């Protein structure tokens, strides 16, 4: 504690020097020094907000690629929304300094963005991004063409063997290939999860390879969060910023949900959001919408959509500021929990908020069994979360014709093990339908699972 105090006192003189050092020493050490140097015991009011328009310049981010898309670039969308957000924040909170990381189409890597945020001593860092994901390719016939096929035949044997080539004209279809838009739509809010790996977080990390948060993918992320050098940084971040980041993220999530657009809750990730981790302040990243979803792309490119997002985020900032400065019970909550940061588990509320519909009981003889989940019937974009004995295993996963595989172990302390399917949506064709295939040794059982906004689909596994 003494050492930290000492550094705070010297901070004014050393900060300029430190910025110079930061440029030449490895990034993880610089973050460490910076974090320690700014450590303070009293809660800071909200004086400075940094708004980061994701990507920029040669880094376009995600681009609209589906047929009929606006071909918009994420870097332009994030800049337009950020500009409106900065203007709205300055209007609504004139006493707070709001600083953009960029106001033009320039390239900045994540270290540069974090450096700006730290240099201005931001109290809150808001990154604006737009989401994307892999697109399916489809084809349509646009005509035919004449092609000549040649057939070679032989007559005779030995020296008399003769080769004969016959030409045959055939009509072949000509196809045009195009990209289909994504069905997934909506806003998600991300924070950097810096402390122990919760089950929920583990589920996200293990299962979301295909749904990568793209924020920093253009840069290699060599930071090993379990390394001895990183551990103190991670601990400091956890103590100081994580709860505030969670609070801010939840408020944004709430405010965006009020507009009626789909939201994906507050998500946390231990790796891959370096820009959040590198900033010495509470930080959130907002994926405003999917650039490859037809409706979302138009929304995030429209004046109305951009302004609505800017106002929702501003409203969240106002509530966050009141929480920090009001000395209300909400503020006490932040301070009290800061000693032992425990991210709230909104998923648990979801888990208990709907009634359970037990669809099948399966007797199992072995402790280990496999569950494969597919979309049943039409592949219509059904999204589910899956809980096993109350713990989340899959979070917000899309069902497709490809299996989502779970390798499960029967809990020896339970007579019954419960697998619960929570419908995150009802796809294009309600209700949410899944085909579950349970494999235990050589036994195979199929269960059709339906779940909707009132009922969770439940399968019970009883150990014989
Ligand atoms: Zn991005």
Per-residue pLDDT of 24-55, as tens digits, reads: 223 333 333 333 333 333 456 899 999 999 99
pLDDT at 219 over 60: no
Interval between CA 451 and ligand 1 midpoint (Å)? 33
Interval between CA 291 and ligand 1 midpoint (Å)? 10
Is the bond leading into 226 cis (omega within 30 degrees of zero)? no
Q: What Å distances lie between residue 259 and 2, 100, 183, 312, 321, CA to CA?
A: 48, 25, 19, 8, 21
Higher pLDDT, 19 or 315: 315
**186-202 pLDDT, tens per residue?**
999 988 765 433 333 33
Interval between CA 288 and ligand 1 midpoint (Å)? 10
Interval between CA 240 and ligand 1 midpoint (Å)? 26
**Rounded-to-integer distance, Cα 285 and Cα 191, Å:** 6
Q: Tell me how far the alpha carbon of residue 153 is from its chain's centroid.
A: 60
Interval between CA 84 and ligand 1 midpoint (Å)? 18
Residue 215: pLDDT band (50, 70, 90) is: very low
* Domains in the chain, CATH or no CATH each: 43-132+185-337 (3.40.630.40), 137-179 (no CATH), 346-463 (2.60.40)
Residue 229: pLDDT band (50, 70, 90) is: low
Interval between CA 462 and ligand 1 midpoint (Å)? 45
Interval between CA 457 and ligand 1 midpoint (Å)? 35
Across the range 396-405, mean pLDDT stands at 83
Residue 339: per-residue pLDDT: 34
407, β-bridge pairs: 370
Interval between CA 214 and ligand 1 midpoint (Å)? 5
**158-193 pLDDT, tens per residue?**
888 888 899 999 999 999 999 999 998 999 998 876
**Rounded-to-integer distance, Cα 111 and Cα 89, Å:** 25
Interval between CA 275 and ligand 1 midpoint (Å)? 11
* Strand ordering across the sheet containing 283-290: 97-100, 48-53, 124-131, 283-290, 187-192, 263-269
Interval between CA 328 and ligand 1 midpoint (Å)? 35
Residue 234: pLDDT band (50, 70, 90) is: low
Residue 137: pLDDT band (50, 70, 90) is: very high
Of the candidates 305, 315, 217, the one whose C-alpha atom is nearest the C-alpha of residue 261 is: 305
Interval between CA 74 and ligand 1 midpoint (Å)? 7
Interval between CA 335 and ligand 1 midpoint (Å)? 32
For the chain, percent of residues with pLDDT exceeding 90: 36
Residue 91: per-residue pLDDT: 98
**240-295 pLDDT, tens per residue?**
677 888 889 999 999 999 999 988 878 766 544 566 666 778 889 999 999 999 99
Q: HSE (CB half, 13 Å, CA atoms) of 460? A: 12
Interval between CA 273 and ligand 1 midpoint (Å)? 10
Interval between CA 36 and ligand 1 midpoint (Å)? 29
Interval between CA 44 and ligand 1 midpoint (Å)? 29
Across the range 395-420, mean pLDDT stands at 84
Residue 44: per-residue pLDDT: 65
For the chain, percent of residues with pLDDT exceeding 70: 71
**416-428 pLDDT, tens per residue?**
888 988 888 777 6
Least confident of 7-21, 78-92, 181-195: 7-21
Interval between CA 73 and ligand 1 midpoint (Å)? 10
Residue 170: per-residue pLDDT: 93
Question: How buried is residue 64: exposed, middle or buried, by Cβ count under 10 Å (0-12/13-18/19+)?
Answer: buried
**295-342 pLDDT, tens per residue?**
999 999 999 999 999 999 999 999 999 998 875 434 333 333 333 333
What contacts 180, CB < 8 A, 6 or more positions away? 66, 67, 135, 136, 137, 138
Interval between CA 213 and ligand 1 midpoint (Å)? 8
The predicted model scores a pTM of 0.56
Interval between CA 62 and ligand 1 midpoint (Å)? 7
Least confident of 101-105, 121-125, 350-354, 440-444: 350-354
Of the candidates 325, 314, 341, the one whose C-alpha atom is nearest the C-alpha of residue 126 is: 314
Interval between CA 439 and ligand 1 midpoint (Å)? 40
């Amino acid at each position: 504690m003494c050492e930290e105090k000492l550094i705070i006192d010297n901070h004014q003189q050393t900060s300029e020097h430190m910025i110079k050092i930061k440029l030449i020493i490895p990034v993880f050490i610089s973050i460490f020094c910076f974090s320690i140097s700014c450590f303070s015991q009293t809660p800071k009011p909200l004086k400075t907000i940094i708004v980061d328009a994701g990507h920029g310049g040669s880094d376009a981010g995600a681009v609209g690629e589906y047929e009929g898309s606006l071909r918009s670039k994420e870097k332009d969308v994030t800049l337009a929304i950020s500009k409106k957000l900065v203007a709205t924040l300055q209007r609504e909170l004139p006493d707070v300094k709001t600083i953009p990381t960029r106001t033009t189409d320039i390239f900045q890597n994540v270290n540069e963005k974090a450096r700006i945020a730290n240099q201005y001593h931001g109290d809150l860092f808001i990154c604006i991004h737009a989401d994307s994901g892999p697109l399916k390719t489809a084809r349509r016939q646009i005509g035919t063409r004449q092609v000549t096929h040649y057939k070679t035949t032989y007559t005779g044997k030995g020296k008399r063997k003769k080769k004969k080539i016959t030409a045959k004209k055939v009509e072949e279809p000509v196809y045009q290939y195009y990209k289909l838009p994504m069905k997934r739509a909506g806003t998600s809010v991300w924070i950097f999860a810096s402390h122990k790996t919760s089950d929920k977080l583990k589920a996200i990390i293990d299962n979301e390879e295909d749904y990568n948060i793209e924020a920093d993918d253009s840069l290699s992320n060599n930071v090993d969060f379990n390394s001895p050098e990183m551990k103190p940084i991670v601990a400091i971040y956890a103590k100081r910023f994580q709860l505030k980041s969670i609070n801010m993220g939840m408020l944004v999530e709430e405010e965006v949900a009020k507009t009626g657009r789909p939201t994906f809750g507050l998500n946390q990730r231990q790796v891959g959001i370096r820009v959040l981790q590198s900033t010495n302040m509470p930080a959130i990243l907002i994926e405003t919408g999917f650039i490859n979803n037809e409706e979302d792309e138009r929304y995030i490119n429209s004046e109305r959509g951009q302004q609505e997002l800017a106002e929702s985020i501003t409203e969240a900032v106002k509530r966050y500021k009141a929480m920090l400065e009001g000395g209300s019970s909400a503020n006490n909550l932040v301070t009290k929990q800061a000693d032992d940061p425990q991210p709230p588990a909104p998923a648990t509320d979801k888990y208990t908020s709907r009634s359970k519909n037990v669809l099948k009981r399966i007797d199992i003889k072995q402790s280990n069994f496999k569950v494969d989940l597919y979309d049943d019937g039409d592949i219509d974009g059904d999204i589910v979360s899956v809980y096993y004995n109350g713990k989340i295993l899959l979070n917000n996963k899309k069902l497709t014709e490809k299996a989502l595989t779970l390798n499960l172990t029967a809990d020896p302390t339970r007579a019954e093990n419960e697998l619960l399917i929570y419908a995150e949506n009802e796809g294009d064709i309600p209700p949410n339908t899944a085909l579950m295939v349970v494999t235990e040794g050589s036994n195979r059982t199929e269960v059709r699972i339906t779940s909707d906004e009132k009922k969770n689909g439940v399968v019970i596994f009883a150990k014989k």
